[in-house]
Amino acid sequence: MSKETKMSPVSAETRVALGEVMAAFEAFKQTNDARLDELAGKGAADVVLEEKLQRIDQDLVQQKSVLDRLLLDGARPALGGGSLAPERTAWSDYMRRGVTQGLNEAKAASAGSDPDGGYVVPAETEARIDRLLSEASPIRSIATVKRVSAPVFRKPVSRGGAASGWVSETAARPETDSPSLDLLDFPTAEIYAMPAATQQLLDDAMVDVDAWLAEEVRDVFAVQEGAAFVAGDGTGKPRGFLDYTRAAEGNQAWGELGYVATGTAGGFDADDPADALIDLIYAPKTGYRANGRFVMNRQTVSAVRRFKDADGNYLWQPSLSEGGSSTLLGYPVTEAEDMPDIGADACAIAFGDFAKGYLVLDRQGVDVLRDPFSAKPYVLFYTTKRVGGGVQDFDAIKLLKFGAS
């Protein structure tokens, strides 16, 4: 499925928020430099300075959250709408007043629908939901997303073993060994949301009910997806990349994810904390590093934000453009709050090419069941979507384990 990259014009409020993020990071650098100078001179930093740095760090996290939310809101569809195609008119009648006659007559809008379980939304509405999910769900936004029609997607993969060689134009071609193939199964599971609306909102002709539905289910779906894509166990939900068996880099078998250890239980090395990050970057093969990125939560970002290189330059840099990613050692950083915090033997940082490594599946069709009875005077919209996910290339993703080995 192609991803939408078109963005709405950036608002003045968003530009102000970006400036505040940059200003907060400058204040963070100045305060942290002062703290490091005191550590070098006195062997300990002033408590007041430590508290100030903590406050600035929290402010930086908050400013980044505000900026992310403004960018997300800027991508929302506009309210209102022009003339609609017959099937879209039928769908609007169903959403606003519960009229099903048009849906039952319009095959394009009702194909595959079961009135007892809801009606399939029009393709435009489904595409709108998918676009908003890609903007709100961190792993979905960096993974490969494929649309399927079957409940289980099976992908054959090669585990190697195919022989090859050079031959001259007239030389015999000897028979080669066959490759070792395996089959990966990616089942889809149902995710649901139940947004509520007043009848007054639904009767308002200026309200785009498609946009309203997409916005209401976006955050609910994104939260559930985010947790599953990171650590889901694959039972009734996608399988997260942290659920797979892990082994020390170089010793992993097919189907396992390799990890690099920091050498210190529950933390980075005190003398050279950045060495583990560099080792993590070079754990994947060259072909995966070109589109590599870090994935971690914001608490971990706060920790690596303090690291410097040998020349005194900060390894973490905020984005200089609207909608861009912060970088660490020159690679983009995706903040996924479902990644674990730094702790003993926790794999709190992942690195790699997630477009090659992780597959997200959207089974075609989003169902909506209109329920005006269960929560009067509100109208509930029981919305379901089928999603799957799992690792498709075990060489593309590497983990940083906060352990001695």
Cβ burial, residue 66 (10 Å; 0-12/13-18/19+):
middle
Q: Is 0.85 surpassed by the pTM of this model?
A: no
Cis omega (within 30 of 0) for bond into 377: yes
Residue 168, pLDDT > 80, answer no
* Beta strands at 347-352 and 196-198: parallel, antiparallel or unpaired: unpaired
Residue 220 contacts residue 132 (beta carbons within 8 Å): no
Give residue 98's identity as a one-letter amino acid code. Answer: G
> Please, which pLDDT band fits residue 240 given cuts at 50, 70 and 90?
very high
Residue 391, pLDDT > 90, answer yes
Which residue matches tokens 């453009």? 321
Higher pLDDT, 2 or 44: 44
Query: H helices of 232-352, where?
Result: 274-281, 286-289, 298-304
pLDDT at 248: 97
DSSP-based three-state secondary structure for 158: strand
pLDDT at 108: 43
Residue 375, pLDDT > 80, answer yes
Give, as one character, the DSSP assignment of residue 382. E
Which residue matches tokens 């999603």? 387
Q: Which two tokens stand for residue 199?
A: 């009848």
**CATH no., domain 125-161+180-297+336-405:** 3.30.2400.10
d(CA 166, CA 240): 41
Give, as one character, the DSSP assignment of residue 144. E
- Neighbouring residues of 310: CB distance < 8 A, sequence distance ≥ 6: none
pLDDT at 323: 61
Helices (H) and strands (E) in the chain, counts: 13, 15
> Please, which pLDDT band fits residue 327 given cuts at 50, 70 and 90?
very high
